[in-house]
Amino acid sequence: MFNFRQDFIRFAVGKKVLRFGEFKTKAGRLSPYFFNAGLFNDGESLRSLSQFYAQAIQAADVPFDMLFGPAYKGIPLAAGTAIALVEQGRNVPYCYNRKEAKDHGEGGSTVGAKLEGRVLIIDDVISAGTSVRESIDLIRNSGAVPSAVVIALDRMERGLGELSAVQEVIKTYAIPVIAIATLTDLLGYLQDEPEMAEYLAAVRTYRDLFGVDDEPV
């Protein structure tokens, strides 16, 4: 039903955004794969990526009224997703925040549509959760309601405790996190691609060591 998840993994591999080998994470772990959404850095890639975000949002069927993109990575993602949603028949407003509030001109700490109603946060990944926390505080302080967070890839990997960064967000803020694809989808892709078989065992081992269950919390 949700073939776009496998399509997204294939797309990310093709663009070398998702690579395999040995990479050191911020936690000091040696990961057999690395995902860098910053490498979706041309018009064609951004268009395709935005379409995947729109598909994930439609599939999740979460009610929302507008999009919010946390500066800086979330800005093009929110704008691109808004365009992709129009192509799927839904027009919604979007806005993004400034790193520093502007005290001249139109002023304020956000650019674009007014933050109101149910707000969908569009970001690339959730690592420490700092961006999500700041976004939720800004949305709530504006009188709006955070509806969900949408990310490209959920690594489904434990943080400092037993929960993943995604699970921490779900538990702390009581809102869903929607991922275009997860580690489970990545493993499915590796199983279905014979030329990727050499990486399958390493990713499975990494999941066994540091992974979390599929259930959110």
Q: Is 114 noted as a catalytic residue in this protein?
A: no
Mark whether 104 is an active-site residue. yes
- Is the separation of the CB atoms in 122 and 67 below 8 Å? yes
Cα distances (angstroms) measured from residue 137 to each of 131, 132, 141, 209, 214:
10, 9, 6, 34, 27
Axis-axis angle for helices 43-60, 4-14 (nearest 10):
160
**DSSP 8-state class, residue 146:** E
Name the catalytic one among 24, 102, 114, 171: 102
Helices 183-192 and 4-14 cross at an angle (nearest 10°) of: 80
| Cα within 13 Å of Cα(85), Cβ side | 24
Which of 16, 26, 99, 104 is flagged as catalytic? Answer: 104
Measured CA to CA in angstroms, residue 51 lies from 46, 80, 158, 162 at distances of 8, 8, 29, 33
CA-based Rg of the chain, rounded to a whole angstrom? Answer: 17
Strand positions, DSSP E, 29-186: 30-35, 66-69, 94-102, 108-112, 118-122, 145-154, 177-182
Annotated catalytic residues are 102, 104
